[in-house]
Structure formats: C-alpha cells, structure tokens
C-alpha cells in the first residue's frame, strides 16, 4: 500500500513538473517578440537625452507587455509616450508598452519610444547602441540599434517609412 501511494505521488510530481516546463517554454515572452527597424536618434550637441524607435511584432496569441529597457549608452532608460495636453505635446513615462496578440507595437517619433537619459557617451550616426528589452515574465531580448541622424528639414525624414 505504501509503495503504491509513493508511486502515485512520484507520478503526480513528475506530471506537474513536465506541465511546468511545457508552460515555461511557451511563457518566454522575449522569444515571441520580433524586433524590426530599431534605431537610436543621433544626439544634438549638448542634449541630455535621446530616443530609440523600433517595431515590436508579437508572434504569440497573447498580448505581451514590454516593461523595461536598459542600454549600455545611457544611465537611465525609460519607456515614454507622447500625450496631447490641451494642444501641447508632452512626454510622460509609462509602466509598459503592450504588444497585442499576433500584432505590432510601433515605437516611433511622436508616439511611444524608449528614452535614453544621461548618455554615457555622445551618440553619433554610424555607432550602435545595445538595448536590452525586458518583458512582463522577466525574459530579455538584446538588440543592436544603429544610431541614425534624423533630418528635420524639408521632409527628409526617411527613417519613418511604412512597411505594408
């Protein structure tokens, strides 16, 4: 009798462990996110911050939240959005960006973006910044984002082309 009970407990434990590992394999949110067109805006002289943009595509059937970003080129990295406050565009920090199930979240000028504050070096076009994205389940994705100069004059901003 004792032996049968022991075997039953052992089987239950094994069953629970294999269920856990199967769930864990699916729960790595970083694996479900693909990053395209990442870049960091070149810093104007004397600037204390710059921004990074990219498109996050969610390959899973559950919404995924990007909750944190870190970079080797900035002391502080924050998730920011633009809000219209009585006609004034203001930036504010947000706790996460949500990437919809089987959908995309576009980080773009004038919208959601990753703020790189107190840079550890002046970022010039041609350099690369390493950015680590952290998702709600604690999984990470490290990306290399080239620094691009974004021309404001005469509508020459080619960095914001749309993919269809």
Q: Domain with 49 in it: what CATH number?
A: 2.60.40.1890
**pLDDT tens figures, 85-127:** 888 888 899 999 999 999 999 999 999 999 999 999 888 999 9
Please answer whether residues 53 and 39 qualify as being in contact, where contact means their C-beta atoms are separated by less than 8 angstroms.
yes
Distance CA 29, CA 22 (A): 14
What is the Cα–Cα distance from 115 to 12, expressed in whole angstroms?
48
Residue 17 belongs to a domain: no
- Structural domain contains residue 52: yes
Which 3 state secondary structure label does DSSP give 23? helix
Note down the domain range covering 78: 29-152
- Residue 132, in any domain of the structure: yes
**Band of pLDDT at residue 75, cut at 50, 70 and 90:** very high
Which residues, 6+ apart, have CB-to-CB distance to 50 below 8 Å? 40, 41, 42, 43, 115, 116, 119, 123
């Amino acid at each position: 009798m004792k032996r049968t009970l022991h075997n039953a407990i052992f089987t239950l434990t094994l069953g629970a462990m294999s269920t856990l590992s199967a769930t864990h394999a699916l729960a790595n949110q970083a694996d479900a996110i693909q990053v395209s067109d990442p870049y960091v805006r070149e810093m104007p002289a004397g600037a204390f911050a710059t921004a990074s943009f990219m498109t996050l595509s969610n390959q899973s059937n559950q919404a995924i939240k990007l909750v944190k970003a870190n970079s080797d080129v900035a002391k502080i990295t924050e998730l920011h959005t633009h809000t219209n406050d009585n006609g004034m565009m203001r930036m504010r920090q947000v706790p996460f960006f949500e990437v919809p199930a089987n959908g995309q979240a576009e980080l773009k000028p004038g919208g959601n973006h990753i703020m790189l504050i107190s840079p550890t070096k002046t970022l010039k076009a041609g350099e690369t910044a390493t950015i680590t994205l952290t998702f709600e389940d604690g999984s990470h994705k490290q990306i290399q984002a080239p620094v691009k100069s974004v021309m404001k004059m005469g509508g020459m901003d080619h960095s914001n082309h749309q993919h269809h």
